[in-house]
């Protein structure tokens, strides 16, 4: 597109924005210019990357992944990265009415003018927003309809471990971690400029971790299951092995200070990636192996830089299981020493109940404002064995006493309903446990004690031991929720749950196949978008879309899979052997557990898959099994002995 038109377009966007912004909610979402944002000179910077989070600014600005990629690209002198978020409905309507195409926040450039559009996909509810973004950017929705004159559209994030439902719309998927690969993809495309889109994609398919769906043909059996997924070009590997970074890169510390309040007004630092606990429902725990931990000094330097660069007053130390981070005590001590009277607030999400030692609570004591969050997920020994997350009730009560006795008034619990073999008695046990915890709190704090309970419906995920199991039907979920709603109420007890339709939707997309593409497109045409928002999700329109395409939603959710079944995502290699997952699934049916693999390696597949990488990295990459946390060397259940589970009354 010639420069004249480009300049005209961008000036026009500026001009039109001035007119419409006073008429939308939170105009700060659409103006950019934040402290620490990077607006490079458009005309003199060679390669242009648009990074999109397909939901509103308030959510996207708290996404650490986008920020890391933003820095990785902007570090390249000849490249620029600019942010794009989904406009909320009022802004979208005005943009469509005014003919304003989707634009980037930094230079207010139409997305159509970028070389590469990278879309972050942490969860499946964002799929219709992806189509809406492409349409607002005046890009043809289907990958096959976009040639080299259009930006190359790639996507990455946890949801991409089953990329098939979006295969028709995305040119290439990043499988695994994006820090290094985003620059490789950009450099490859930069070098292939002027070549045909097919040639460009052949080059992209050669990059380890890149999946180009058009280079794979899918065939189905008569019963609708996948027969096979086979490459149709030599550049496409039979299985696409995920990409990992051997060592966690230096933490991102130049956070953009948002124009408006965002969902997390705090700066996250990833202290550990991966987890070895092996909870069978946990997608993240399986796909982010191996464990890599950040040294305390690096975290401390990052905290200092974040405060200096942003003025943020709250820092969250991120990982899947913070109490398993080897240096957790040392880190909390050091932060306490340096910042205890600075007003800095520290959050340490995803603490495990059994290892939340009293002194850890104390050390965190004066920097925390709110309550404590734990995720026991299940409340009976049987269910805990099946999901392989063993937390005896007595441990829950002991930790609750420790929390309440230190003056915290609220404990938040996360439970799941719908795991395999679950009965109403198992759901009743959740109620009994929450009430028992509240009683402990009331003994110490009287009427000030609170128990907030979040209940989600278990959704079987690809690449986990539970990828074979059926998801609960609507009726089963409704029955269990009714029991919980009837009994988990009253003073000090607060219950929140996911809607049945939301859970069904996530189930379809999580284990869907490539045929779901036309259902997603039809649902979008019918008006579906912002499916992650309970009041925006339109179950009726989704049912219509499935119907019109003669596909049965239950086929994707409520159907038990045979061990031999070929999965739509089997050609995506998360580096954990399918055999390991099958064994673990069969163990779960027998109620057999596995200890944390820090105690005993089960040869899940990570080691052989990345042996070569480990040997190439001179810097100490990662150990498998990783070393054990000091405090938890002697861990309940690790040597097989168990604290018996006390039977709790309602
Ligand atoms: S290789 Fe062994 S120690 Fe490493 S993640 Fe797999 S089971 Fe755990």
- How high is the pLDDT of residue 11? 76
- Verify that 233 and 271 share a domain, yes or no: no
What the block records as the tokens of 466 is: 């539970």
Whether residue 336 lies inside any domain: the answer is yes
Q: Are residues 306 and 220 in the same domain?
A: no
pLDDT for 351: 76
CA distance 472 to 560: 11
User: According to the model, what pLDDT value does residue 648 have?
Assistant: 40
pLDDT of residue 20: 96
pLDDT cut 70: percent of the chain above it: 91
Which of 587, 609, 624, 626 most suits a substitution to test ligand 1, by most atoms within 8 Å of the C-beta?
A: 624
Q: Confirm whether 499 is domain-assigned.
A: no
**Within a domain: 483:** no
Predicted local distance difference test score (pLDDT) of residue 6: 52
Q: Which of 589, 617, 637 is the last residue of a domain?
A: 589
The closest residue, in CA terms, to atom 8 on ligand 1 is 597
Report, as an integer, the average pLDDT of 6-19. Answer: 78
The reported pLDDT for the residue numbered 364 is 65
Same domain, 278 and 235: no
Query: Cβ distance 557 to 542 under 8 Å?
Result: no
- Please tell me the predicted confidence (pLDDT) of residue 8: 54
Whether residues 195 and 87 fall in one domain: yes
Q: Is the pLDDT of residue 472 over 60?
A: yes
Residue 374 counted as domain residue: yes
Q: Is residue 599 domain-resident?
A: no
Distance between CA atoms of residues 640 and 626, nearest Å = 20
Report pLDDT digits (tens) over 306-318: 999 999 989 999 9
Kindly tell me the burial class for residue 439, based on how many C-beta atoms sit within 10 Å of its own C-beta (0-12, 13-18, 19 or more). Answer: middle
End-of-domain residue from the set 589, 614, 635: 589
Domain stop point among 223, 241, 259: 241
Of the pLDDT bands very low, low, confident and very high (cuts 50, 70, 90), residue 395 is: confident
- Here the CATH number for the domain that contains residue 98 is 3.40.50.280
Q: How confident is the model at residue 638 (pLDDT cuts 50, 70, 90)?
A: very low
Same domain for 203 and 283: no
Helices (H) and strands (E) in the chain, counts: 21, 19
Q: Which of 6-15, 146-155, 562-571 has the lowest mean pLDDT?
A: 6-15
What confidence score (pLDDT) does residue 165 get? 98
Instruction: From 272, 274, 276, 581, give the residue whose CB has the most ligand 1 atoms within 8 Å, as the site to mutate.
Output: 276
What are the distances in angstroms from CA 567 to CA 141, 221, 421, 590?
Answer: 26, 12, 23, 24
Reference 365, options 397, 323, 335, 395; nearest CA is 335
CA 570 to CA 588: how far, in whole Å?
Answer: 21
Evaluate if residue 635 carries a pLDDT over 50.
no
Could you tell me the distance, in angstroms and rounded to a whole number, from the CA of residue 616 to the centre of ligand 1? 19
CATH code of residue 436: 3.80.30.20
Establish if 564 belongs to a structural domain: no
- Flag whether pLDDT at 642 surpasses 50: no
Cα of 326 from ligand 1 centre, angstroms = 16
Q: How many percent of the chain have pLDDT more than 90?
A: 78
pLDDT in tens, 44-67: 999 999 999 999 999 999 999 999
**Confidence check: pLDDT of 5 > 70:** no
**pLDDT at residue 279 above 50?**
yes
First to last CA, the chain: 69
Handedness of CA 362, 366, 371, 376 (dihedral sign): negative
pLDDT band at residue 392 using 50, 70 and 90 as cut-offs:
confident
SS3 405: helix
CA distance 163 to 510: 9
- The better pLDDT of the pair 287, 246 is held by 287
The pLDDT of residue 639 is above 50: no
Radius of gyration for the alpha carbons in the chain, expressed in angstroms and rounded: 25
What is the Å distance from ligand 1's center to 210 Cα? Answer: 24
* 221 and 274 together in one domain: no
> 290 and 237 in one domain?
no
607's enclosing H/E stretch is helix 606-616
pLDDT at 633 over 80: no
pLDDT at 647 over 50: no
CA dihedral 80, 210, 279, 457 (to 10 degrees): 80
Query: Are residues 200 and 329 both part of a single domain?
Result: no
Instruction: Kindly give the distance from the C-alpha atom of residue 277 to the centroid of ligand 1, in angstroms, as a whole number.
Output: 10
* Residues 560-575, mean pLDDT to the nearest whole number: 97
| Over residues 446-460, mean pLDDT | 95
Residue 624 CA to ligand 1 center (angstroms) comes to 5
647 in a structural domain = no
Determine the pLDDT at residue 390: 83
643-649 contacts: CB < 8 A, separation 24 or more? 643/392, 643/394, 643/395, 644/392, 645/380, 645/381, 645/392, 645/393, 645/394, 646/392, 646/393, 646/394, 646/397, 648/393, 648/429, 648/432, 648/433, 648/435, 648/436, 649/432, 649/436
* DSSP, res 604: -
Q: Which domain holds residue 135?
A: 3-241
Angstrom distance (rounded) from CA 426 to CA 650: 13
Mean pLDDT of 621-640: 54
391 and 439 share one domain: yes
The predicted structure's pLDDT at residue 345 = 85
Label residue 640 by pLDDT band (50, 70, 90).
very low
Domain match, 202 and 276 both: no
pLDDT confidence bin for 168, thresholds 50/70/90: very high
- The chain-wide mean pLDDT, for the chain, equals 91
Q: How many domains does the chain have?
A: 2
Atom 2 of ligand 1: nearest residue by CA position? 601
Which stretch of 152-161, 404-413, 431-440 has the lowest confidence by average pLDDT? Answer: 404-413
Asked if residue 274 and residue 181 are part of one domain, the reply reads no
Contacts of 103 (CB under 8 A, 6+ apart): 10, 13, 84, 109, 110, 111
Backbone angles phi, psi at 537, to 5 degrees: -70, 125
Residues with CB under 6 A from ligand 1: 276, 289-290, 597, 601-604, 606-607, 624-625
Same domain, 224 and 75: yes
In the beta sheet, which residues pair with residue 30?
none
What is the rounded distance in angstroms from the CA atom of residue 319 to the CA atom of residue 327?
13
Q: What is the pLDDT of residues 353-382, one digit of tens each?
A: 765 666 776 776 554 455 788 899 999 999
Between 611 and 118, the more confident residue is 118
The b-or-e profile of 493-526 (16+ CB within 10 A means b, else e) is bbbebbebbbbbbbbbbbbbbbbbbebbbbbbee
Report the alpha-carbon distance of residue 86 to residue 119 in Å, rounded. Answer: 11
Report d(CA 499, CA 477) in Å as an integer: 9
Ligand 1, residues 607, 621, 627: which to mutate, most atoms within 8 A of Cβ? 607
Q: How confident is the model at residue 41 (pLDDT cuts 50, 70, 90)?
A: very high
Distance 245 CA to ligand 1 centre (A): 17
CA of 349 to the centre of ligand 1 (A): 24
Q: 578 CA to middle of ligand 1, Å?
A: 14
Per-residue pLDDT for 624 more than 80? no
Q: For residue 320, report the distance from its CA to the centre of ligand 1, in Å.
A: 16
**Ligand 1: distance of its center to the CA of 577 in Å?**
11
Q: Which of ligand 1's atoms lies nearest the C-alpha of 598?
A: 3
What letter would DSSP give residue 560?
A: P
- pLDDT recorded at residue 645: 39
Question: Which residues share a beta bridge with 644?
Answer: none
Of the candidates 41, 29, 45, 143, the residue with the CA atom closest to the CA atom of residue 86: 29
Strand 345-347 relative to strand 314-318, pairing: parallel
393: confidence class by pLDDT, cuts 50, 70, 90: confident
Distance of alpha carbon 471 from the chain centroid: 20
CA distance 384 to 645: 11
> Which atom of ligand 1 is found nearest the CA of 580?
7
Q: What confidence score (pLDDT) does residue 643 get? A: 41
**Residue at 40 is within a domain:** yes
pLDDT tens-digit profile of 474-491? 999 999 999 999 999 999
Least confident of 279-283, 308-312, 333-337: 333-337
pLDDT value of position 146: 98
Ligand 1 atom nearest to CA at 601: 2
State the pLDDT at residue 3: 44
Give the pLDDT confidence score for residue 441 in this predicted structure.
Answer: 95
Residue of 277, 290, 579, 610 to mutate, ligand 1, most atoms within 8 A of C-beta: 290
């Amino acid at each position: 597109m010639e420069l004249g038109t480009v300049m005209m377009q961008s000036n026009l966007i500026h001009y039109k924005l001035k007119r419409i912004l006073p008429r939308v909610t939170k105009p700060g979402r659409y103006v950019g210019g934040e402290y620490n944002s990077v607006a490079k000179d458009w005309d003199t910077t060679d390669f242009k990357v648009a990074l999109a989070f397909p939901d509103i600014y308030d959510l996207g600005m708290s996404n650490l992944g986008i920020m890391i990629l933003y820095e990785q690209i902007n570090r390249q002198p000849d490249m620029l990265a600019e942010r794009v978020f989904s406009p909320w409905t009022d802004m979208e309507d005005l943009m469509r009415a005014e003919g304003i195409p989707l634009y980037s926040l930094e230079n207010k450039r139409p997305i159509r003018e970028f070389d590469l559009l990278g879309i972050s996909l942490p969860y499946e509810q964002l799929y219709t927003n992806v189509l809406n973004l492409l349409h607002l950017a005046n890009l043809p929705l289907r990958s096959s309809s976009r040639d080299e004159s259009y930006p190359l559209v790639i996507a990455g994030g946890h949801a991409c471990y089953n990329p098939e439902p979006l295969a028709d719309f995305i040119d290439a998927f990043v499988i695994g971690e994006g820090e290094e690969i985003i620059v490789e993809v950009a450099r490859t495309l930069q070098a292939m400029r002027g070549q045909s889109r097919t040639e460009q994609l052949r080059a992209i398919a050669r990059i380890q971790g890149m999946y180009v769906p058009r280079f794979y043909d899918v065939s189905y059996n008569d019963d609708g299951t996948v027969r096979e997924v086979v490459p149709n070009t030599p550049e496409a590997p039979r299985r696409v092995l995920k990409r990992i970074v051997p060592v966690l890169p230096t933490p991102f510390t130049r956070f953009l200070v948002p124009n408006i309040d965002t969902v997390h007004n705090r700066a996250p630092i990833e202290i550990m990636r991966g987890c070895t606990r092996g909870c069978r429902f946990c997608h993240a725990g399986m796909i982010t192996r191996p464990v890599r931990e950040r040294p305390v000094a690096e975290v401390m330097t990052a905290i200092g830089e974040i405060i200096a660069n942003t003025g943020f007053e709250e820092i969250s130390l991120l990982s899947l299981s913070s109490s398993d981070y080897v240096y957790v005590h040392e880190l909390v001590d050091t932060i306490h020493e340096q910042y205890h009277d600075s007003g800095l607030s520290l959050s340490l999400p995803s603490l495990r109940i059994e290892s939340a030692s009293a002194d850890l609570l104390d050390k965190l004591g004066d920097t925390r404002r709110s309550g404590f969050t734990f995720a026991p997920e299940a409340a009976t020994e049987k269910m805990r064995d099946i999901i392989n997350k063993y937390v005896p009730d007595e441990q829950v009560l002991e930790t609750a006493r420790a929390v309440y006795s230190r003056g915290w008034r609220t404990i938040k619990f996360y439970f799941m309903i719908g795991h395999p073999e679950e009965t109403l008695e198992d759901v009743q046990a959740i109620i009994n446990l929450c009430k028992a915890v509240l009683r402990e709190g009331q003994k110490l704090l009287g009427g000030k004690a609170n128990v907030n309970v979040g209940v989600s419906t278990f959704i079987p995920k690809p690449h986990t031991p539970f990828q074979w199991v059926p998801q609960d039907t609507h009726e089963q979920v409704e029955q269990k929720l009714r029991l919980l709603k009837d009994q988990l109420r009253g003073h000090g007890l607060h219950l929140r749950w996911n809607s049945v339709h939301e859970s069904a939707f996530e189930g379809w997309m999580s284990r869907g196949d490539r045929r779901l593409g036309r259902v997603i497109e039809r649902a979008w045409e019918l008006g579906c978008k912002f499916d992650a928002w309970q009041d925006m999700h339109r179950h009726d329109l989704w049912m219509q879309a499935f119907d019109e395409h003669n596909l049965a939603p239950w086929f994707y959710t409520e159907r038990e899979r045979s061990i031999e079944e070929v999965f739509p995502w089997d050609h995506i290699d998360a580096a954990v052997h399918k055999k390991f997952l099958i064994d673990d699934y069969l163990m779960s049916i027998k109620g057999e557990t596995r200890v944390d693999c820090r105690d005993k390696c089960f040869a899940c597949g990570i080691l052989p898959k990345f042996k070569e990488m480990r040997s190439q990295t001179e810097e100490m990459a990662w150990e498998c099994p990783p070393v054990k946390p000091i405090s938890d060397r002697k861990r309940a259940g690790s040597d097989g002995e168990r604290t018996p589970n006390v039977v709790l009354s309602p």
